[in-house]
Amino acid sequence: MNIISKKSSLMISVHILFSLFVMIIDDLDYQAKVSLVAFLSAMTFWITTKIPAGFVAVAVIVGIVLMNGSDAELLYQSLAQEVVWLMIGAFVIGEAVKQSGLAERFTRYLLNTSDQKSNLILLITKTLFISAFFIPSTSGRAALSMPIIKQISERFHSSEERSVLAVIVPVIILMSTSATLIGAGSHLIGVGLLESTTNQSISYVQWLVWGVPFTLVVTLITLFITKWVLLPKNTEKKVKKLSSEDTSLGIQPMVIREKKTLILIFLVMLAWITQGIHGYDIGFIAMTGALLFMIPKYGVLNWKQGVNAVSWQLVLFVSTATTLGKILVVTGVAGWIEREMLYGLHLFVDAPEWIIVCLILLVTVTSHLYIHSHTTRAIILIPSLILFSESIGINSLTVVFLSLIGMNYCVTLPVSSKALLIFYEEDELSFDARKLLKISAILMPLYILIMLLFYFTYWQWTGLNI
């Protein structure tokens, strides 16, 4: 009788190999090595086991503390992040959208427009693409779309199809980020660093000219590949039909609760768009909006309904998983990887243009594997890439734009993006991490190839040159 199963033995062996590999890295101190082993361990458990992802994330953070890789503040401060309060606020707002009837109304509108699953998914894609021009946060777009996607998923016939929808939505949100300068905070940070370092800049209109065509192409290709790879074959092509009563509800005028919800959502979005003017971050704005939705007598929800709407297990998972990514930066693991990769770039100083572009794209597109925040990726990589571009005499503006677009790819692992995390552990609508790996194996090289094609054609024709 085997005391340890084959799978457990394999997991133990993998962890021993991780530890041996990390131990021989001389440039990392003890805390950095503990963090790196913990990160690799979490990735392994998330991808290969069915242990709840939140349990794994919290256990790994606790393990880091027990191994003296950090103090207990690491666990406590995981809940003191903007994304936590953004999610809490967004869940409350999402519940208000649901309770008011707006989610049902929009769902009926989409279903009345088309009862074909493919057309319906295309309509969702169009809506998410357009939202990139108004909501400057991928996690905000994901959280606000959640109640509507839940409603639509109920019309799909199987849990497998609903799981595919849970992958498609955050992936499309991420791929459409490159369309506009306000699509991600990393864009503004990158352009700000470019301005302060080189006196060059990328205007809002310039970004639209370069970003929109590329984003349209890559979003449509992503949609096609995701459906082709993940959507079950030989299934019903139409969604479940609406009842005649549901159909008639779609043409009724809005009630007061719906109008009130629509006005408050507009105000929240307006506050997000004008963040540069008033200075409040999107998490604070989301919580302020949530409180407005829960004002006694005048709100759309009461306090209890709002609090119960929050998926607390998801909040715990996202907070600890994000902290796990941050500690790689704090302990110097991300910096070590960055130095090793950028050192490799300097070996190609006299290389042809296409090789330099390929290397920049390779570094930036893969950076999501070890730096899980858009913002952090920009803060860490952009200054080094600007320095690299100036040292070999190439256009820093072009390098920054290509780098920011490259950094927007973050589809491989759930922890690679908060938008993915929001859907990953949701009770009613979730997906398997292996599905992301499956589509990323195809999408990542394609993403780089499409960027190369755009650079040597459309982007060069419109003035983007190294």
How far is CA 16 from its chain centroid? 31
Identify the pLDDT of residue 161.
77
- Where is pLDDT greater, at 380 or 71? 71
Q: CA 170 → CA 107, 226, 249, 436, 445, distances in Å?
A: 18, 12, 29, 11, 19
Percent of the chain with pLDDT over 70: 89
Give the Cα separation of 30 and 429 in Å (integer): 39
Q: Is the pLDDT of residue 202 over 50?
A: yes
Highest mean pLDDT among 66-75, 106-115, 161-170: 66-75
Encode pLDDT of 285-301 as tens digits.
889 999 999 998 888 88
How buried is residue 379: exposed, middle or buried, by Cβ count under 10 Å (0-12/13-18/19+)?
Answer: middle
The SS3 call for residue 81 is coil
Q: What is the pTM of this model?
A: 0.72
Mean pLDDT of the chain: 81
Identify the pLDDT of residue 1.
44
Identify the pLDDT of residue 28.
85
Q: Are 273 and 182 in contact (CB under 8 A)?
A: yes
How buried is residue 202: exposed, middle or buried, by Cβ count under 10 Å (0-12/13-18/19+)?
Answer: buried
Identify the pLDDT of residue 2.
54
Q: Is the pLDDT of residue 404 over 70?
A: yes
**Mean pLDDT of all residues in 45-49:** 77
Contacts (Cβ under 8 Å, ≥6 apart) of 301: 92, 95, 96, 99, 293, 294, 309
- Of 31-35, 419-423, 430-434, which range is least confident? 430-434
Identify the pLDDT of residue 219.
92
Identify the pLDDT of residue 136.
63
Identify the pLDDT of residue 47.
72
Identify the pLDDT of residue 242.
56
The model's confidence at residue 248, banded by pLDDT at 50, 70 and 90, is low
Percent of the chain with pLDDT over 90: 12
Contacts (Cβ under 8 Å, ≥6 apart) of 43: 413, 415
Identify the pLDDT of residue 4.
62
Identify the pLDDT of residue 451.
94
Q: Is the pLDDT of residue 208 over 90?
A: no
Give the Cα separation of 98 and 77 in Å (integer): 31
